[in-house]
Every structure is written in C-alpha cells, then in structure tokens.
Amino acid sequence: MPEMHRLADVGFHAGELAVQRRAGVEAQAVRLARMLEPVELDGGIARFLAGRTFAALTGRDDADRLWVTPLTGPPGFLNVTSLTTLEVGAVLAVGDPLHGLPAGQQVGLVVVEFAARRRVRINGTLIQAGPVRLVIKVEQAYGNCPQYIQQRVLISEYRDQAGAGDVRYDSALASEDVELIRGADTFFLGTTHPERGSDASHRGGPPGFVRVDGDQLWWPDYPGNNLFNSFGNLAINPETALLFLDFTTGRTLQLTGAAEIEWGEPGRPGDDGHTGRRVRFTLQRLVAGHLLAARQNAHSPYPRNPDLTG
C-alpha cells in the first residue's frame, strides 16, 4: 500500500497502476514517473517539434466517436507559440472522420521522426479548431524510446480535396483492408481516459504482427518503458481507435471500436514479445481512403523487431 500511494502521488491513474502492478513493474515505472509531470515547450522538445513533418492525432468527432488521424506538413507546421501552446498548421481532408472536430476536447498527439527513430507524445486540450489550424493547450509532453520504429524518409505531397470522394465508410473490413493490416509494420493507437483525456501512441513490429480474426484484430505487446499509458487507459475505458497507413501509396485505414487486454502465459503462440500480454480489438466503424499527404522514398526495418511466433 505505501508503494501505491507513492506512485499515485506522481501522477499515474488507477488503470496505469493496476497494469503496472499486474505486470510486476511498479518499481521501474516509478523511476520514470516524472516524465508525466507538466512540462514547458522549450529547449529540446521545441526544437524537435519545429523540424517535424508527421504526427498522429487522437480525438473525437462530432458524434463523440474516437479516431486517430495523420497530420502532415512542412517543417514548422508544428509551431510552439508559448511554453504551453502548440499550433498545428494542418488541413484535415473532407473525408477524414476528424474533419471539423469540435474544440474544447482533450486530445493526444504523437510526433514521429521516422528517419531518426525519435518520437514525442503530447497530451492537452484542443482550444481552437479551424479549417487550417488547430491550437492545443499542452499539459504533458515527453519522449519515448526508439524501439520498434521502422526508419522511413517521408516526402510531403499535395492532397487534392476533390479526392475525398473515394473515401469509404463501413462497419466491416474489406479484403483490401485486411491486406493493408497484415502488411503493416506500423500503426497508431488511440485510447482515452474519462478524466485524463485522450492519448496517441505508436506501435511497430514486423509485417504480420497485427493479426486479423474476423471483425477483430489482435497484436502482442512488446517490452517497453513500463509506464503503460495506453494499457492503463484500456483498463479503465475500452474505447479505442487505430490508424493504419500505406506509406507508399498514401492509403489510410481508420478504425474505431473497443479493445481489451488479454493476459496469458509468456511464450504462447503469437506472444512475439514474450510478455504474455496482447490486445484484442473489436471493430465498430471504419473509414478507408487515401488521406496521407506524404509518401516514403526510403525504408529500413527496425533491426530488433521480434520474430512472429504464430
């Protein structure tokens, strides 16, 4: 009990604490807890954001459904305007489920530099949402390790808004959706907590690490930083959003639904990370299109991606 109080004092919520405890990593987590304290957007974080061209945003549409969407732009489209304010100069396509997302909600942002295998997660409140600019009041900003980031060089590409007409809205996966998922070595995960707000995170592995099982997807959990921010949210609230991207063609697949953590014996078939943990996602709605305004011209897999085990 004293350890629980010490962890709670540094900002972990009940879901994160429960998952850390079950995974047996409470001591490791508490050493990193200061990462979650409120920070100012200065120094290294501000310089990192200024040079980036890609991010993924978790937020809610006007029907209160959770989605993750890609954001792209030239260096400078992520503009720190004060120690706690980030302006995002990005246009959300007409067909994007977060096009016209309402302000006043809590959002999560993960900013990735694929070529250098670096990422920063940002959580805060969307205080303005216009057609060409989002403004986020930042409450948390912290870096994540380079694990499982596949190296990519992305080139921005003009996106014709007239192309929004080929977006497909559905509640079941089509064969081309399954093909995209099974070939993906990267996806983005959106989760949310009723008080702490939404979060966006990166997931990577070898192609095939996300399995398709009817209207469900599942993937193994890999060893990470032991904070369990996403898992902690899932322990409280099953609402989940996924974003899959084809970085060669610009094809996008956005899914919203519910997910749960499954605990089992380490080393069972499919437990590629040997943690005994996996996430099972049940689809409710999807949006499929070509909404990524960037293309890759170089790619190199992360050298220590776990092998697929079944």
pLDDT digits (tens, 9 = 90+) for 193-208: 999 999 999 999 999 9
In a domain, 307, yes or no: no
- The conformation of residue 273, written as its DSSP 8-state character, comes to T
Separation CA 13–CA 176 (nearest Å): 39
In a domain, 112, yes or no: yes
In a domain, 133, yes or no: yes
pTM for the whole structure: 0.93
Are the C-beta atoms of 60 and 66 separated by less than 8 Å? yes
Q: Residues 126-140: pLDDT tens digits?
A: 999 998 999 999 999
In a domain, 309, yes or no: no
Percentage above 70 pLDDT, the chain:
94
Comparing 20-24, 62-66, 275-279, 287-291, which segment has the lowest mean pLDDT?
Answer: 20-24
Position 8 pLDDT exceeds 60: no
Position 160 pLDDT exceeds 80: no
Number of folded domains that form the chain: 1
Are the C-beta atoms of 205 and 185 separated by less than 8 Å? yes
Residues spanned by the domain of 43: 2-300
In a domain, 282, yes or no: yes
CATH number for the domain that contains residue 229: 2.30.110.10
In a domain, 308, yes or no: no
User: What value does the CA radius of gyration of the chain take, rounded to a whole number of Å?
Assistant: 18
In a domain, 26, yes or no: yes
In a domain, 206, yes or no: yes
Q: Residues 238-273: pLDDT tens digits?
A: 999 999 999 999 999 999 999 999 999 999 999 999
Position 10 pLDDT exceeds 60: no
